[in-house]
Amino acid sequence: MTKSRTTLRSTFAALALALSAGAAQAAFFGSTYDTIVPSPGGNPSGSACVTKLQSDLDGTPPYGYLTWTPGAVTTFSQLVTLTATFSFPVGSYHGGSPRFEIPLDTDGDGSWNGSIFVYMGTPPSFTDAGHAAFLATGNVIGDLVTHWDLTQLGGPYYGTYAQALALVGGARVLDVELVVDGGWGGDQAALADTFTVNAGTYVTVCPPPPAPVPAGDDRGLAVLAMLLALAAAWRLRRG
């Protein structure tokens, strides 16, 4: 049901981020397919920008996601908060997207052994309609909803948090992701406002505007003139 991107984890690029004071040990990253866009308004953080997580049928882009990477060894049982706030203005929930994804190292060698998928939407189909409003997932850690897919780790598809904790509570968390990747079944896009894991909260930071060129600043023209002169000299030498 879910298209895994495990082999593509090395394609991360740093995104603008905001960390709460207690989360200095953690880092947030996003794939190169994420885009910071102006907020349409109504996002609870009040930020002027949000992060667009997009997955298109034509594969451009194939997926979008945000990732929290712990700065120290963290086991699954040490995750106490996992929540996000986002709108879903394009498409509908399907194909296991959107979701939280938790890649784990279960044998202590530092490598991935399987992932937990926590689907958003209503069980058993998780095919809710899209929504222009920003909605909060609530903290899924400790919830009773049967949206914990544990099949990659030998557990049930409609699992619970309690079952996940019993199965892999001591496993090392490699990262935690907020994922949109169901474009293969129809275009999807989410606008992520916040993404919280434990003490760290991601809030989109708008990129700074380009620096204005001071009035009367002709340095650009001077550089252009120099390049043209060099090109002319090069042509003369070749002639």
What is the model's pTM?
0.79
How many residues does this entry show for the chain?
239
The arithmetic mean of pLDDT across residues 76-99, rounded, is 97
- Percentage of the chain surpassing pLDDT 70? 75
Query: So what's the pLDDT on residue 23?
Result: 40
pLDDT above 50 (res 94): yes
How far, in Å, CA of 9 to CA of 68, rounded? 12
Query: So what's the pLDDT on residue 221?
Result: 64
How far, in Å, CA of 227 to CA of 154, rounded? 64
User: For the chain, how big is the Rg over CA atoms in Å?
Assistant: 22
3-to-10, 156, 170, 196, 221 alpha-carbon distances in Å: 17, 18, 26, 23, 51
Residues forming beta bridges with residue 105, ordered by sequence position: 172
Per residue in 131-151, pLDDT (tens digit) is: 999 999 999 999 999 999 999
Query: So what's the pLDDT on residue 27?
Result: 52
Query: So what's the pLDDT on residue 234?
Result: 47
The arithmetic mean of pLDDT across residues 167-187, rounded, is 96
- Which H/E stretch holds residue 202? strand 200-203
The owner of tokens 């992520």 is 192
Query: So what's the pLDDT on residue 164?
Result: 98
Please, which pLDDT band fits residue 220 given cuts at 50, 70 and 90? low
How far, in Å, CA of 8 to CA of 66, rounded? 13
Mean pLDDT across the chain? 84
Backbone angles phi, psi at 184, to 5 degrees: -60, -20
Residue 201 · residue 23 · CB < 8 Å: yes
- Percentage of the chain surpassing pLDDT 90? 67
Please, which pLDDT band fits residue 9 given cuts at 50, 70 and 90? very low
Please, which pLDDT band fits residue 231 given cuts at 50, 70 and 90? low
The arithmetic mean of pLDDT across residues 163-185, rounded, is 96
Q: Indicate the range of 18-27, 37-46, 127-136, 139-148 predicted with least confidence.
A: 18-27
Residue 95 · residue 190 · CB < 8 Å: no
**Would you call 40 helix, strand, or coil by DSSP?**
coil
Look at residues 170, 126, 165, 172 and name the one whose alpha carbon lies nearest to residue 142.
Answer: 165
Please, which pLDDT band fits residue 235 given cuts at 50, 70 and 90? very low
Query: So what's the pLDDT on residue 60?
Result: 84
pLDDT above 50 (res 24): no
Q: Which token pair is 105?
A: 């190292």
- CA atoms within 13 Å, Cβ hemisphere of 58: 1
Please, which pLDDT band fits residue 59 given cuts at 50, 70 and 90? confident
